[in-house]
Amino acid sequence: MFCPECGTLSFPNPKGEIACTNYKCGYNGPANVVIKDQTTGKEVDLSQATSSTESRARVYDVIKDSDKRHGVLTTGTYMCPNQKCNSIYVFSYLEQTRSSDEPETRMLTCKDCGKGWREY
């Protein structure tokens, strides 16, 4: 709800009256505000609006795909160490595998054969 005098955001009490939170305005009274609904074009009386603190349960799906992490595709920077593949299309990303004062480890995965290796 908004104060009909100054437009400050206010919350109605159970009787439908609002007390403006703006100390300069100080409006206390009914929130008889009528607005037009933009979807239907009808006038809506907001003094009859109610609020609740009901919470809804959410369902979360945990997806375990850390083994499919590929990173950024590079071309020509690395070559697959697999003797049968020798592909130059390699996914790479950096990961901090040791303490923070050590450099990151570059994790590499071949796009064609899926072989993974690291560079320290």
The pLDDT score that the predictor gives to residue 40 is: 80
The pLDDT score that the predictor gives to residue 66 is: 57
Please indicate, yes or no, if residue 58 is contained in any of the structural domains: no
Q: Are 118 and 104 in contact (CB under 8 A)?
A: no
The tokens for 57 are: 């349960």
In a shared domain, residues 45 and 86 = no
Instruction: Give the number of residues written for the chain.
Output: 120
Q: Are 117 and 110 in contact (CB under 8 A)?
A: no
CB neighbourhood size of 106 (10 A): 15
In a shared domain, residues 111 and 87 = yes
The helix/strand/coil state of 68 is: helix
In a shared domain, residues 42 and 73 = no
The pLDDT score that the predictor gives to residue 39 is: 77
Rounded Cα–Cα distance for residues 120 and 21 (Å)? 59
For 94, the domain range is: 66-119
Please indicate, yes or no, if residue 82 is contained in any of the structural domains: yes
The structural domain count of the chain equals 2
The pLDDT score that the predictor gives to residue 70 is: 73
Please indicate, yes or no, if residue 99 is contained in any of the structural domains: yes
pTM: 0.42
Along the 120 residues of the chain, how does pLDDT read in single tens digits? Answer: 777 778 888 877 877 788 888 888 888 887 666 667 777 877 776 656 666 777 778 777 665 555 666 788 888 888 898 888 888 998 888 888 888 888 889 988 888 888 888 888
